[in-house]
A and B are shown apart, each in its own frame.
Chain A
Amino acid sequence: QITLKESGPTLVRPTQTLTLTCTFSGFSLSTSGEAVGWIRQPPGKALQWLALIYWRDDKRYSPSLKNRLTITKDTSKNQVVLIMTNMDPIDTATYFCAHKRCSGGSCYYTFDFWGQGTMVTVSS
């Protein structure tokens, strides 16, 4: 059973740095093929893919946000951390982490398990 849970501040000030942690269970990021991604959703709006980290520490970022994002992993703690700098009110959103599907030795370009999400408000 794969589960993921996001944690972090609910309120950040403009220009501050946001640090979010995804704590997961049911798989290991030291296993070949495994990966965890971050996706956000402003209130009432669409999903936006942000970043992803693979078991081999390969990282991918949204082209529009790559200058502000850093994704890291701590395999021993089963955690993935997303850092977003220079926060702005437009970054107000629910932030989700999600497991990139790997099943039966095959991996796919989709997200099969999601955390419940954590709402982050950017306001002074």
Chain B
Amino acid sequence: QSALTQPASVSGSPGQSITISCTGTNSDAGAYIYVSWYQQHPGKAPKLMIYDVDNRPSGVSNRFSGSKSGSTASLTISGLQAEDEGVYFCSSYTSSSTWVFGGGTKVTVL
């Protein structure tokens, strides 16, 4: 199984909105709603931000939202803040009953 495809980097100014894409196949992101997004700061464990395409765990800011169209999922961060800097990974459950991650997108707040 190949990794999900994400852009290497995305940047935006404080207050702006940015969107990160995550493209899979008909065997993973295109087949299920089980797409998740994780935020990772340097030296830290990943933190779950979105699951099942567009659900936020309690405690995650509503500035983070998710969507999916076909095999491409997206994470949008609205009202960008300095603390949003980090690397974001998408993940999907697969038809082989396994999981696959994306390559990661580095978010920079200008």
Q: List 19 A-B contacts (CB under 8 A).
A: A46-B102, A47-B46, A47-B89, A47-B101, A47-B104, A48-B101, A60-B97, A60-B98, A62-B98, A63-B98, A108-B51, A108-B52, A109-B32, A110-B48, A110-B91, A111-B46, A111-B48, A111-B91, A115-B45
**A15 CA / B95 CA spacing, docked (Å):** 32
* Complex interface: chain A residues within 8 A of B45 (CB): 96, 114-117
- Within 8 Å by CB of B51, from A46, A96, A110, lies A110
Q: Which of B87-110 contact A (CB under 8 A)?
A: 89, 91, 93, 96-104
Spell out B's residues near A (CB within 8 Å): 1, 3, 32, 34, 36, 38, 45-48, 51-52, 57, 89, 91, 93, 96-104
**CB–CB A112/B57 < 8 A:** yes
**CB–CB A46/B104 < 8 A:** yes
**CB–CB B36/A49 < 8 A:** no
**CB–CB B1/A63 < 8 A:** yes
Count: A-B pairs, CB below 8 Å: 65
**CB–CB B103/A110 < 8 A:** no
Beyond contacts A64-B1, A101-B51, A115-B45: 19 other A-B pairs, Cβ-Cβ < 8 A, are: A45-B104, A46-B89, A46-B102, A47-B91, A47-B104, A49-B98, A49-B99, A52-B99, A63-B98, A101-B48, A108-B51, A109-B93, A110-B48, A110-B52, A110-B91, A112-B48, A112-B57, A114-B46, A116-B45
**CB–CB B91/A49 < 8 A:** yes
Contact flags (1/0) for A95-123 with B, using CB distance below 8 Å?
A: 01000010000001111101111000000
Range class of the A interface residue count: 20 to 34
Q: Which of A57-86 contact B (CB under 8 A)?
A: 60-64
**A112 CA / B52 CA spacing, docked (Å):** 12
- The 9 A-B residue pairs whose C-beta atoms are closest, nearest first, are A109-B34, A110-B51, A109-B93, A114-B45, A49-B99, A110-B36, A47-B101, A46-B103, A46-B104
